[in-house]
Amino acid sequence: MNGTRIIAIGAALGALAVVLGAFGAHALRARVTPDLLEIYETAVRYHFYHALALVLTGIWADRVGSTVMPPGVIGAAGFFLVGVAIFSGSLYLLVLTGLRWLGAVTPIGGVALIVGWLFLLRAALAR
């Protein structure tokens, strides 16, 4: 994986965040309770933040790692991607299905997002 591929994944994830955000704002507003809509909005917010984090990680990797990818960048990108899938994905599913037990899965995604930031810290300190 290289910086350009990380940027592409982040851009695709960003586009998906916009689509899901619009779906929540237009299709869900009249169908779910305000507390569920707030949960959905949290999922979209973290989804979008980490799509941007992926794009910026890819840009940084391309700038500083023209021959060798800085240590930790691949880990950061992977954990951001997995974190979004588990954190935001479990919240999206909770709202859309009503399966409250999915809320127990959400912290696993949160931990993955934190680990992604720690990998990015490692990459920055390795410079």
Q: What is the pLDDT of residues 48-87, one digit of tens each?
A: 999 999 999 999 888 876 567 777 899 999 999 999 999 9
CA–CA separation, 18 vs 28, rounded Å?
A: 14
Domain boundaries, the chain: 3-125
Residue 42 predicted with pLDDT over 90: yes
Q: What local confidence, expressed as pLDDT, does residue 65 receive?
A: 65
Which phi and psi angles does 68 have, rounded to 5°?
-130, 125
Q: What is the pLDDT of residues 4-14, one digit of tens each?
A: 999 999 999 99
Q: Round the CA-based radius of gyration of the chain to a whole number and report it.
A: 16
Q: What is the pLDDT of residues 91-126, one digit of tens each?
A: 999 999 999 999 999 999 999 999 999 999 998 898
